[in-house]
């Protein structure tokens, strides 16, 4: 059974910013990644669908990359939100990030049929640029390591 996070930063994004195929709650076809906090670390839990395979039995790397991507921007949003004195679920609008770069090391083939858990560490590089280092586990087995450079979304992004 997949563990469900009680609160996630994506639950607090305004609707206009909730269409992401990875983590937007308004995108019906999307993955609905949700990123919260457990034991002081950012966490995203997701069980890939049967079709998300590389070969039967193994998860497609693009899905692992997608998980790391949205886990990265979500983790950065949580960190900046907290730096601003806010918490997930407190009714305030969190900052939104875009991905400047994404790196994934595939440590071992990722088995299908079990929940994946991305666990992140966030570091402020600059007030508008945050680095998120992630590890992705399948049943406590480390399958991938990721790094996302996340940048605060420009104000003009939505209206362009």
Q: Which residues bind its own copies (CB under 8 A)?
A: 16-17, 19-22, 27-30, 49, 51-57, 60-63, 65-66, 69-70, 98-106, 109, 157-158, 160
Query: For 77, what's the count of Cα atoms within 13 Å in the CB-facing half-sphere?
Result: 29
Minimum CB distance to its own copies, residue 39 (Å)? 26
β-partners of residue 97 are 152
Pick between residue 42 and residue 66 the one whose CB is nearest to its own copies: 66
Minimum CB distance to its own copies, residue 102 (Å)? 5
Distance CA 13, CA 18 (A): 6
Pick between residue 47 and residue 99 the one whose CB is nearest to its own copies: 99
Minimum CB distance to its own copies, residue 110 (Å)? 11
Pick between residue 26 and residue 83 the one whose CB is nearest to its own copies: 26
Pick between residue 1 and residue 15 the one whose CB is nearest to its own copies: 15
Minimum CB distance to its own copies, residue 136 (Å)? 13
Distance CA 160, CA 118 (A): 32
Minimum CB distance to its own copies, residue 115 (Å)? 18
Pick between residue 61 and residue 82 the one whose CB is nearest to its own copies: 61
Instruction: Work out whether the CA dihedral 59, 113, 149, 15 comes out positive or negative.
Output: positive
Question: 80 is written with which tokens?
Answer: 């900046």
Torsion of CA 135, 136, 137, 138, to 10 degrees: -170
Distance CA 34, CA 45 (A): 7
Rg of the chain taking only CA atoms, in angstroms: 15
């Amino acid at each position: 059974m997949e563990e469900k996070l009680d609160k996630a930063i994506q639950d607090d994004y305004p609707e206009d910013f909730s269409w992401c195929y990875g983590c937007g709650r308004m995108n019906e076809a999307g993955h609905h990644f949700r990123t919260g906090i457990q034991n002081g670390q950012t966490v995203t839990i997701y069980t890939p669908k049967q079709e998300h395979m590389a070969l039967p039995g193994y998860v497609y790397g693009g899905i692992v990359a997608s998980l790391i991507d949205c886990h990265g921007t979500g983790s950065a949003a949580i960190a900046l939100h907290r730096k601003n004195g806010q918490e997930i679920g407190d009714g305030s609008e969190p900052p939104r990030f875009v991905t400047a770069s994404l790196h994934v090391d595939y440590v071992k083939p990722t088995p299908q049929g079990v929940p994946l858990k991305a666990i992140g560490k966030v570091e402020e590089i600059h007030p508008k640029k945050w680095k998120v280092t992630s590890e992705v586990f399948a049943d406590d087995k480390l399958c991938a390591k990721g790094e996302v450079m996340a940048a605060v979304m420009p104000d003009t992004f939505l209206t362009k």
